[in-house]
Amino acid sequence: MKTLTTILTLLILIGCSNHKSETSSTENRTELIPEPEQDTQEALDEPQVDQNTNKNEKCNCKGIVDWEQDVKVPVYNKPNGQLIDTVSHDIEGEDFLTFNLFDSEEDYFKVEIRRAISGQAKSGWIKKDDYLGTYASNYSDSDTLFLYSNPDKSSAPTDTITKYYTELYQILDCKSNWVKVRMEKGNKEYQGWMEPGMQCPSPYTTCN
């Protein structure tokens, strides 16, 4: 009888010991799993910003780099920022630079720029200069070019041009699909906002 009692006592002690060991092991494993840091968790919870959104873009215009000037155009990641690329015409191949214009700050344009025929588009900011512009499309005597005081046809004209000039109109600013331009001819300077239908941002052909 004593032997049976001793065996039962040993079995009970072994069972309690195993249970305690498993509990301790589980607690240790739990302690090894770190809680996520608060900043990391907040970052995971924040919505990701779409870098390709165009909601805040000011302009939707096109322009060209003067094909008669063999220039190298630096492209920056932001106004007064880091240089990310430099683009230029292929003069011999007659593959000239054109650009889509999305925004304008004091000295810079936000653009997507490429060679018209074969170039890969580069996005960034380029510094405003006299080689960035568009042509006018008032080809006939009946096509009067009005340059307006504001990007609105109801605003007062600053200049009325009844003759077609082949010179490039330098782009100074943009808003929606209007461009503010300047062009000098002889001793006369023309400046104002050019409506979309009078812009011809092509280095190759006229725009009808």
DSSP per residue, the chain: -HHHHHHHHHHHHHHHHHHHHHHHHHHHHHHHSPPPPHHHHHHHHSPPP-TT--TT--B-EEEEE-TTS--EEEEESSTT--EEEEEE-BTTTTB-EEEEEEEE-SSEEEEEEEETTTPPPEEEEEE--TTEEEEE---STT-PEEEESSSSTTSPEEEEE-S---SPEEEEEEEBTEEEEEEEETTEEEEEEEPGGGEE--SSS---
> Does the predicted TM-score (pTM) go above 0.85?
no
pLDDT the model gives residue 169: 98
The residue ranges of the chain whose pLDDT is under 50 are 1-2, 4, 7-8, 10-13, 16-17, 19-36, 38-53
pLDDT tens column, 115-161: 999 988 999 999 999 999 999 999 988 899 999 999 999 999 999 99
Residue 193, both tokens: 């906002």
What does pLDDT average to over the chain? Answer: 82
Residue 199, both tokens: 């812009």
Q: Phi then psi for 190, rounded to 5 degrees?
A: -110, 135
Residue 119, both tokens: 């170039």
Report the C-alpha gap between 114 and 19 in whole angstroms: 73
